[in-house]
A and B are shown apart, each in its own frame.
Chain A
Amino acid sequence: MSVRPRDALRVEALTVAFRGSDHPVIRGVSFEIAPGEAFGLVGESGSGKSLTCRAILRLLPRGAAGTGRVTYGAHSLLELDDAEMQALRGSTIAMIFQDPMTALNPVLRVGDAIAQVIRSHEGLGARAARTRALEMMERVGIRDAARRAAAYPHEFSGGMRQRVHIAMALAARPTLLLADEPTTALDVVVQAEILRLLDDLRREQGMSLLLVSHDFRVVAGLCDRVGVMYAGELVELGPTRAVLRRPEHPYTIGLMNSLPEAVAGERLRAIPGAPPDPERLPPGCAFAPRCELAVDACIAAPVAFSQTSPGHRSRCLRIDRLDDMRRSLAAADGA
């Protein structure tokens, strides 16, 4: 596999709003993914992780529009015309989706589906595309590819379908892969296999990866850096190891605590309350209403996204008081 020229993805002040609403659902998200880097976005459902992915590929739902600046190498993605953007999709930036049960066209044989990606992007003939499609199927761990290529999606299990879906996304050799909850719909054993596969493929192809998940463990295993999203904005951003060792935001700690296996033998500690309605965001820190450390200053005005250590940023005024909360995490780790 030849190494393609690689680019960095830069997302600057990305804001997504639905038409007719002055309350954006994604508010000024900025991050960067270096060439070949794996970056994770974590947060609960509705925090805007998936919309961030779709905004990058300009595949937002009807009525939603993204503003800000998104660049990939020399391309300014939000400013390209539709045809240029379409040419980048699949060939340079690809995406995989959460539910492998619906992400495959039920009337297309899987071999044809993969070959179609190759033909449409690389102009190969039917035979050459088919050969490449079979190679791709082997690469994602589908044994007996020549025979399985003739099967329809309903003949595959969930994990196998996700492999097919990954094969399609990677068939035209993209350099950036957006993976939106790629393992959420799968059982735990298959989850681990798919994550390992994604990691291997990323290293082999020298691809950059944006991995979106609600599960900290998924991101922790694969990503160099991680961003934590809450109510449409980043609340913490830093190297995965640093964030895991010393989280700098109460929401991050809450998220880690609410993992089913974090506290063996104890009750799950859910974060009290629910995420805010984007139409009625509190004027200050969006997490303040659910935060046990919140003080008047948190509620009064928006909190800046400030650096706590090199490469590590947090949107919290009470960082110096986080130790107690972190101890609950340490206790859980020890148990």
Chain B
Amino acid sequence: MSAVSTVALGRPARRRRLATVGWSLRIGLVGILTVAALAAFAPMIAPYDPTALGLAQGLTPPSAAHWFGTDQLGRDILTRVLYAARIDLQIGTIGVIIPLIMGAVIGLFAGYYAGWSDAILGRVVDVVTAFPFLVLVLAIVAMLGPGLRNFYIAISLVSWVAYARIVRGEALGVRGRGYILAARSLGYSDARIMFRHLLPNVIVPALVFGMSDFVLDILAGASLGFFGLGVQPPTPEWGVMIAEGRNFIITAPWVVIFPGVAIIVTSFFVSLIGDSVSDIVRRVRAS
């Protein structure tokens, strides 16, 4: 009896918690995995070659042969939207992971040691946040020269600041907790305390922010592509596709609509995940 009841006790609670936040999280996860799968298997799924010209006459509307129509150079838009997902997911992922790691490490140091490292971080944060995000990224890419690699460098240089600020704030609050002092009393090194005891307790808000940052990075990538500073044609990228199609927006709106929808849908799924994760965190903290 006792063994059965203790085992049974743990489960319904967990199931209930999952069930209530579950749907938006599930939809988000399934959605983003679907997008990722479409991107991964693009060569198999896509009906045409993404850079093949003149498959049809330019700017044909959606039809049985070209579901999303063709663009001004007669390329198949469905094929290009699928291939573009590869680049755009990569932009979102790398654009979050590198700044997240940089920001988390710097924020942990500043929050744990406080003192001068914190003062320096504070000044840097002030300077960077004084500029609009996109303007700063554009300026750096303009200096370094166009291309995806420079875009990643620019994103990393700018957006680590946001992660550092979040992690630093959390760490400042958590470092005073009893278990951090207890960890010190057990003779653990500062590095161990920071990365094994502090980090897991402060990283979740940064991860949640990362979800919205993912969307921001894709949009930044699209904007840069639009200005011709990001991904270079003929490589398909959603932002570049919209930029190239902007002159035909009245006469052939499908050229712009489909890559635009792809951006919106992807962003929507990622936001769903971010929202439900922060929801779960808030609930767990409240209980």
Contacts and interface: CB of A to CB of B under 8 A. Distances in A.
A107 B281 CA distance: 13
Interface stretch (B21-29, B130-138, B186-194): B186-194
B184 A89 contact: yes
A99 interface: yes
B179 A90 contact: no
Contact of B188 (A97, A99, A120): A120
Contact of B179 (A91, A105, A120): A105
Interface string A72-115: 00000000000000111111001101010111111110000000
B282 interface: no
B286 interface: no
Contacts of B186: 89-90, 94, 117, 120, 168-169, 172
Most chain A CB within a 10 A radius of its CB, from B181, B183, B185, B197: B185
A249 interface: no
A165 interface: yes
A107 B177 contact: no
A121 B189 CA distance: 11
Interface residues of A, number: 29
Contacts of B178: 97, 99, 101-103
Contacts of B114: 62
Nearest to A53: B185
Contacts of B192: 120
B278 interface: no
B201 interface: yes
Nearest to B115: A62
B200 interface: yes
Nearest to A98: B178
A262 interface: no
A270 to B, nearest CB: 29
B64 interface: no
Contact of B181 (A59, A86, A120): A59
Contacts of B185: 57, 59, 89-90, 94-95, 97, 169
A116 B189 CA distance: 12
Nearest to B6: A147
Contacts, number: 60
B182 interface: yes
Contact of A97 (B181, B187, B200, B201): B181
Contacts of B177: 102
Interface string B150-187: 00000000000000000000000000011101111111
B189 A86 contact: yes
A106 B201 CA distance: 8
A107 B184 contact: no
Contacts of A120: 186-188, 192
A108 B198 CA distance: 11
Contact of B187 (A62, A90, A99, A101): A90
B183 A105 contact: yes
B183 A59 contact: no
B187 A107 contact: no
A8 B184 CA distance: 23
Contacts of A97: 178, 181-182, 185
A20 B154 CA distance: 44
24 contacts: A59-B184, A62-B114, A86-B187, A89-B184, A89-B185, A90-B188, A94-B185, A94-B186, A101-B178, A102-B178, A102-B179, A103-B178, A103-B179, A105-B197, A105-B201, A106-B179, A116-B196, A120-B187, A120-B188, A121-B187, A165-B182, A168-B182, A169-B186, A172-B186
Given A97-B185, A105-B197, 14 more contacts: A59-B184, A89-B187, A97-B182, A103-B182, A104-B179, A107-B200, A107-B201, A120-B186, A120-B187, A120-B188, A165-B182, A168-B182, A169-B186, A172-B186
